[in-house]
Amino acid sequence: MNHWLIKSEPDVFSIRDLAKAKRKTTHWEGVRNYQARNFLRAMQVGDRALYYHSNATPSAVAGIVEIVRTAYPDPTAWDKTSDYHDQRASPENPVWSMVDVQLVEIFQREIPLDELRTVKALAGMELLRRGSRLSVQPVTAAQFRTIETLSHAKIRP
């Protein structure tokens, strides 16, 4: 099982929106970066991902989701009315992929970015790299566990 981190702007689709969705599941559409797409394609059913709120106050890891369907064509790519429309895409040549994710847990306590930066065990995280903007990225099992544990801590460190 692999671990991941996926970003969403809460103004667009927050983890609470996911909690309200049918079966607490959504299509992870709109990824338009090749590196991120390739990580989507590497996801397996049962993999877990940290749900990160970007462009938020504060930006933070907000919870955990599980991959419940592996990558398949993202139809918003050839939908002219979609914000995610891409000229090059068509049903015959989808170009972009999405997976389905299901809510596992909303953290009792979100872990803000500035706190993540203080945790030694997380020093190698892609998210924390200067200038990093990758919206789908792998995390190690140890990094995943560290963040999960922080979210359950009763007292702020």
Nearer CB in complex with DNA: 137/151? 137
Task: Please give the distance of CA 137 from its chain centroid, rounded to a whole number.
Answer: 8
What binding mask, one character per residue, do residues 24-63 give for DNA by CB under 7 A, x or -? --------xxxx------------------xxx--x----
For 66, phi then psi, to 5°, come to -120, 140
SS3 category, 1: coil
Could you tell me the smallest distance in angstroms from the CB atom of residue 135 to DNA?
A: 4
The C-alpha atoms of residue 116 and residue 60 are separated, in whole angstroms, by 9
Could you tell me the smallest distance in angstroms from the CB atom of residue 100 to DNA?
A: 20
- Interface residues for DNA in 83-102 (CB under 7 A)? none
**Which one, of 55, 148, 52, lies nearest residue 101 by Cα?**
52
Nearer CB in complex with DNA: 34/104? 34
- Interface residues for DNA in 109-138 (CB under 7 A)? 113-114, 129-135
Nearer CB in complex with DNA: 25/54? 54
Nearer CB in complex with DNA: 42/56? 56
Helices (H), the chain: 10-13, 15-20, 34-42, 113-116, 141-152
Nearer CB in complex with DNA: 83/154? 83
Indicate left, alpha or beta for 95 from its phi (over 0: left) and psi (-120 to 50: alpha): left
Could you tell me the smallest distance in angstroms from the CB atom of residue 41 to DNA?
A: 14
Written as one letter, the residue type at 39 is: F
**Which one, of 123, 127, 23, lies nearest residue 65 by Cα?**
23
Residue ranges in contact with DNA by CB under 7 A: 7, 9, 32-35, 54-56, 59, 113-114, 129-135
